[in-house]
Amino acid sequence: MTQTCGFVAIVGRPNVGKSTLMNRILGQKISITSRRPQTTRHQVMGIKTEGEAQFIYVDTPGMHLQSKDRNKAINRFMNQAATQALRDVDCVVFLVDRTRWTQEDDIVLDKLTHVEAPVILAVNKVDWIENKQDLLPWLDQLQAKRGFAAILPISAKHGTNVPELEAEVAKYLPESIHYFPDDQITDRSQRFLAAELVREKVMRQLGDELPYQMTVEIEEFRDEGRVIHISALMLVERPGQKKILIGENGERIKKIGREARLDMEKAFGAKVMLNLWVKVKRGWSDDDRALKSLGYDLE
């Protein structure tokens, strides 16, 4: 049989479920998730090989409006990363949230104007729609926005219609040798995943208490076979944010470390010794050079 292989960009505004969808397709966590918008900051590649077909999914940051509080270098980086993912792909999955269409969905639609690859519209979280009769007229309205290759109502969280979405994507994979070994699941390193898992726990636990000016840098990643030693530095911009992260008597940082360590052990299949520190680095999120040194690099 002929081999097929292609790149598939998953795009959409913040918080529509792009990372949840990719994790569902892959059957394991590659992209971190939280209820907060803009949890995903980088392009993250997820590779799924089924027989002769290899799907290379690219999870992207949510495309969002630039505004006074969202005009930092890190926000510009996220928008650029999402836009760059649309280059040279074989198919695009445009994810939207139920029957809610916003100005930021229009931004994504506008970015897709010049994309020649087929665009599949996936309407996510349909399990939340109370009156399913609202769905059909809404799908008709969506079809009028652009000539989509297909429109599918799905639930990334519960897997509803996700196999149908994958079958639709498979139609657009070109004939090609596989770019990655059949057992490889991402292009990202364990070091990258460790940093992301710490950041996920912070995002989930602190909700609106901590602004977006927090990132994680792995200072040590030493794999000794049965035990992996990891030292992670959490960077914030103000002393007050450091205080929030540490919590009373260090309880918050202990909880973040405990939950991140358990996820790492599951992901890496080894015991993890995790040490966490918090450091104030003023202005890092609006400094292009600082961002590059912290791994926010489009190359």
Asked if residue 93 belongs to a known ligand binding site, the reply is no
Asked if residue 275 belongs to a known ligand binding site, the reply is no
Asked if residue 227 belongs to a known ligand binding site, the reply is no
Asked if residue 174 belongs to a known ligand binding site, the reply is no
Q: What are phi and psi of 292, to 5 degrees?
A: -60, -45
Asked if residue 157 belongs to a known ligand binding site, the reply is no
Burial class (CB within 10 angstroms; exposed 0-12, middle 13-18, buried 19+) of 173: buried
CA–CA dist 136, 195 (Å, integer): 42
Asked if residue 12 belongs to a known ligand binding site, the reply is yes
Asked if residue 287 belongs to a known ligand binding site, the reply is no
Asked if residue 204 belongs to a known ligand binding site, the reply is no
Are 245 and 209 in contact, with CB atoms under 8 Å apart? no
Asked if residue 60 belongs to a known ligand binding site, the reply is yes
Asked if residue 119 belongs to a known ligand binding site, the reply is no
Tokens 């080894």, located at residue: 270
Asked if residue 63 belongs to a known ligand binding site, the reply is yes
Asked if residue 36 belongs to a known ligand binding site, the reply is no
Asked if residue 181 belongs to a known ligand binding site, the reply is no
Instruction: Give the residue ranges of the annotated binding site.
Output: 12-19, 59-63, 124-127
Instruction: Give the residue ranges of the annotated binding site for GTP.
Output: 12-19, 59-63, 124-127
